[in-house]
Amino acid sequence: MADELESDMPPLEDISDEADEHDFETLNVGGMKFVTTVSTLTKRDTHSVLAVMTTQRHEKSKVLRDEDGCMFIDRDGTHFRHVLNWLRDGVVTPELETPEYHEILREAEYYMLSGLVEAVLLTSGKKREDVRAKSGAAKEVRIASSITSQIARMARPELSRLDVIKLQQHEHGVRVRGVNLSGLNLSNLDLREGDFRNAQLINTTFDNAYLMNASFENCEATGASFKNAMLHYCDFTGSEMVGVVLDGAILKDAELKGACLQNASLRNASLVGAEFDDADLYKANLTRADMCGAKFRKANLTEANLTEANLSSKGREGGTAILTQARLTRTNFFQANLKNVNVSEAWDYQNAVNLNEAIGYTAPKEKSKERQFDGNYKSLLTMPHKHFTV
């Protein structure tokens, strides 16, 4: 009888490793340590990545631990405190800047915390409305998209890569207007003249794809990747492209009017003749981008990085970049080619960074301070006068 009871009992090590809601758990998130309880990690969403890791913590093959025995998560720990605070209190900090909300949103998606996704979007949306009401500065606080489209990030795509390839072979080409393709890998495909208008392309990969003349108007492409893609004459008008990667892409004569490219990466991209009028490029990285003839009228380039970017044609096609009424607050022009570029047509160019380090930059001449007599008696009194002798 005793032997039977003993055989039914789980091993002692399993009993000690079972997750009790009052147990402490130490997490190592990208090198940063956080201490919390099992209850906190599991109470809001039992199907989240954190909850599953915690409940499986006795299965050593499924949970990675560091040398100190802490549960290791290979993510940047910078924003994990916000994730943990939401798990504890159900509240998202309302005083954050817009880019921080985007980062927390990425973490919420990774941990599959749909409640946190909604909370971030609601909080950031309220902040946007408050700031607009006070200052009317919509571009500075623009949010990636509506709550509905953002939550779609966590939904499965409606088509597979194979489905898209089959559409590609159809005589009418790829026509996926309004379709959710989020997260798909569409690299190296020939998708020329494809219709992606109003499509969900969140975190979709188009690396090395051929997309000449494709239409992306008003699509949601936050976090998408177009590395080295051929995007000649593509239309991204009004699209949400927060954090999009366009490194090495060719955007010759592409349309990006009114697009939201906050925190986008366009390193070494060819933007010759592209139109960015009214686009939001807050903190965008345009290092070594070829911007000859590109139009940035009324665009927001606040804190954008234009290190070694080329804005002057040097006799080639395209002409010089146009910055008329663009906002250049803290824009970095280190070693950028500004020969013949009229920077003075932009807003707040005086507060741009490293303008004097730019190639070919010439400071605008100050207007003459001499007053001319205009027939007004008061102006005559302020003019420098000469002494006459009789």
Q: What is the pLDDT of residues 349-377, one digit of tens each?
A: 999 999 999 999 888 775 544 444 444 44
For residue 334 the two structure tokens come to: 């280190």
Task: Return the axis-axis angle of helices 98-110 and 114-135, rounded to nearest 10°.
Answer: 170
Mean of pLDDT over the chain = 80
> What residues pair up with 300 in beta bridges, in sequence order?
280, 327
Higher pLDDT, 276 or 109: 276
Residues 314-335: tens digit of each pLDDT = 655 568 999 999 999 999 999 9
The amino acid that residue 2 corresponds to is A
* Dihedral sign for Cα atoms in the order 265, 284, 271, 253: positive
CA separation, residue 23 to residues 1, 19, 38, 55, 358 (Å): 33, 7, 6, 12, 58
SS (H, E, C) the chain: CHHHHHHHCCCHHHHHHCCCCCCEEEEEECCEEEEEEHHHHHCCCCCCHHHHHHHCCCCCCCCCECCCCCEEECCCHHHHHHHHHHHHHCCCCCCCCHHHHHHHHHHHHHCCCHHHHHHHHHHHHHHHHHHHHHHCCCHHHCCCCCHHHHHHHHCCCCCCHHHHHHHHCCCCCCECCCCECCCCECCCCECCCCECCCCECCCCECCCCECCCCECCCCECCCCECCCCECCCCECCCCECCCCECCCCECCCCECCCCECCCCECCCCECCCCECCCCECCCCECCCCECCCCECCCCECCCCECCCCECCCCCCCCCCCECCCCECCCCECCCCECCCCCHHHCECHHHCECHHHCECCCCCCCCCCCCCCCCCHHHHHHCCCCCCCC
Please give the average per-residue pLDDT across 208-226, as a whole number.
Answer: 94
Tokens standing for 252? 């010759």
The pLDDT value recorded for residue 388 is 40
List, for residues 83-129, the tens digit of each pLDDT value.
999 998 888 877 777 778 888 888 888 888 878 887 887 776 655 44
- pLDDT for the residue 164: 92
Please answer whether residues 123 and 143 qualify as being in contact, where contact means their C-beta atoms are separated by less than 8 angstroms.
no
Which of 253, 158, 247 minimizes the C-alpha distance to 236?
253
Residues forming beta bridges with residue 275, ordered by sequence position: 255, 295
Q: Which of 139-148, 220-229, 247-256 has the lowest mean pLDDT?
A: 139-148
Mean pLDDT of the region 28-44 = 89
How far CA 186 is from CA of 138, 160, 182, 246, 275, in Å, comes to 33, 9, 10, 15, 25
pTM for this one? 0.59
> 134: which strand partners?
none
Phi and psi angles of residue 96, each rounded to the nearest 5 degrees, phi first: -80, 160
What percent of the chain has pLDDT above 70?
76
Structure-model confidence comparison of residues 51 and 355, the more confident one: 355
Mean pLDDT of 7-28: 56
Q: What does the pLDDT read at residue 141?
A: 38
Instruction: Note the pLDDT of residue 367.
Output: 52
Q: Tell the CATH superfamily of the 19-137 domain.
A: Potassium Channel Kv1.1; Chain A (3.30.710.10)
Percent of the chain residues past pLDDT 90, beyond the cut = 46
